[in-house]
Amino acid sequence: MSTTEASIDFPALFTPLQVGTHTIQNRIGMSALTRNRATGTYPTELMKEYFVQRARGGNGLIVTDGILITRQGTEWQNAPGIWDEKHISGWKTVTDGVHEAGSKIYAQLWHLGRISHPDAPEQKLAGVPVYAPSAISARGGKFRFLPGQPGYTTPTELDESTIWKLIGQYKQAAVNAKAAGFDGVELHGANGYLIAQFLDNSSNHRSDQWGGSAENRARFGLEVLKVFKKVFGQDVAIRVSPAGGYNDVGMPIDDTIETFSYFLSEADKLGLAYITFIRYSSYFDIEIDGVHRSTKFDVLETLRPFIKNAKVFLNAGVTPGEGQQYISEGKIDGIMIGFHMITHPDYANRVKNGKPLDNVPNYQYTQRNLSDEDWYTGYTDYPFAK
């Protein structure tokens, strides 16, 4: 973005938007980003500062990092959780700060499914296996903190009773998010984690009511959205990545369209606040055995017609110019910004005031496990525009 551009160039981005029961000040949201800064899974004052910076920076909607609904053996040992009172009180300081700074904040609720390791300390503390729809391992992974840096392992297939227990854990996480003062919850349905594993026929080979047809593979995600609705009413959202790729999911184009057209149309009937599309991105198109894993297609053009009620946000390298165009054309209602929101806490204000996006990324500290002394590096030390 050049220094001569300002909000006059992007007027559609700077109009208020009704999202569920809340009005956000503009059409710019901060997407969920794993930053790996929660000490022992608990939110910290540093995390509060990080989110408040982005609220002060004029961004209308903040979505948290993916928040683990239970103990899980993630590759990110300092990912945050929300299963006990200490989590709730920690997140309450975050939400209070964001509200005081003028923004709304959603909690993204996250279960990894097979993208965990049974030997990870948190998984051992959980005392349960690594669960997934089917006993099919994702290819890849690297648990750098374990001896030999192993990859993903074959998970334990969920039985019927455990599926319903997981749905109950999602509901409890939403209850906790409500107690912590969040304005809404976003279901992490993207990037090859548990919801996506149920949806995808490469990771879900079940023959019961939770697998097989598109309707059955969509069932788990829809049931989770329903229990969220019982807690948050209209203030429930979901993020999806139909092009797949990341964490070894992805289907042929016909299966992709059949699955997501059904899932999104049924989810939309529930009365959601918004649905975020992650469009195809080479960043998520991992290569396995010499083959790119994503299904490359125009996600927005293909699947937008199936959403009649929820607001629609677009994510993955979206520019202010694209946001202006797509909002003006009625294709989307807002944009979700990821990487630029890491490096520019005042992203919305920069766009509004014609300031360049010129902070230099500190790639080394985007998600890296750091010593306790320098967790702020690459996290809260990016400057605001002058």
Is position 193 annotated as part of the catalytic site? yes
Q: Long-range contacts of range 375-379, CB-CB < 8 Å, 24 or more positions apart?
A: 375/37, 375/46, 376/46, 378/342, 379/35, 379/37, 379/46, 379/50
Measured CA to CA in angstroms, residue 261 lies from 164, 256, 300, 374 at distances of 25, 8, 12, 45
Per-residue pLDDT at 370: 59
- Is the distance from CB of 381 to CB of 342 less than 8 angstroms? no
Among 312, 367, 313, smallest CA distance to 339 is for: 367
Task: Enumerate the β-bridge partners of residue 187.
Answer: 109, 238
Other Cβ atoms less than 10 A from the Cβ of 146: the count is 14
**Tokens (6 digits) for 106:** 């959603």
Q: What are phi and psi of 193, to 5 degrees?
A: -90, -170
Q: What are phi and psi of 274, to 5 degrees?
A: -160, 160
> Which residues lie below 8 Å from residue 179, measured CB to CB, with a gap of 6+?
88, 92
- Tell me if residue 87 falls in helix, strand or coil: helix
Alpha-carbon span 64 to 337, nearest angstrom: 12
Helix (H) or strand (E) holding 172: helix 160-179
The shares of helix, strand and coil residues in the chain, as percent rounded to the nearest 5, are 35, 15, 50
Measured CA to CA in angstroms, residue 371 lies from 33, 309, 346 at distances of 20, 46, 27
- Is the distance from CB of 286 to CB of 140 less than 8 angstroms? yes
Per-residue pLDDT at 6: 55
Q: Which stretches of the chain score pLDDT less than 50?
A: 2-5
> Which residues lie below 8 Å from residue 283, measured CB to CB, with a gap of 6+?
316, 317
Outline where 180-309 has alpha helix (H): 194-199, 214-232, 253-269, 299-303
Q: Which architecture does CATH list for 7-374?
A: Alpha-Beta Barrel (3.20)
Alpha-carbon span 333 to 323, nearest angstrom: 9
Whether the pTM exceeds 0.85: the reply is yes
Per-residue pLDDT at 3: 37
Identify the residue whose tokens are 């999202």. Answer: 19
Among 304, 305, 310, 291, smallest CA distance to 252 is for: 291
Among 244, 320, 238, smallest CA distance to 281 is for: 244
Q: What secondary structure does DSSP assign to 110-152, as a single string? A: E--TTSS-TTSHHHHHHTS--EESSS-PPS----TTSTT----
Per-residue pLDDT at 102: 98
- Based on its alpha-carbon atoms, the radius of gyration of the chain, rounded to whole angstroms, reads 20
Q: Which of 50, 152, 170, 193 is catalytic?
A: 193
**Terminal Cα-to-Cα distance of the chain (whole angstroms):** 16
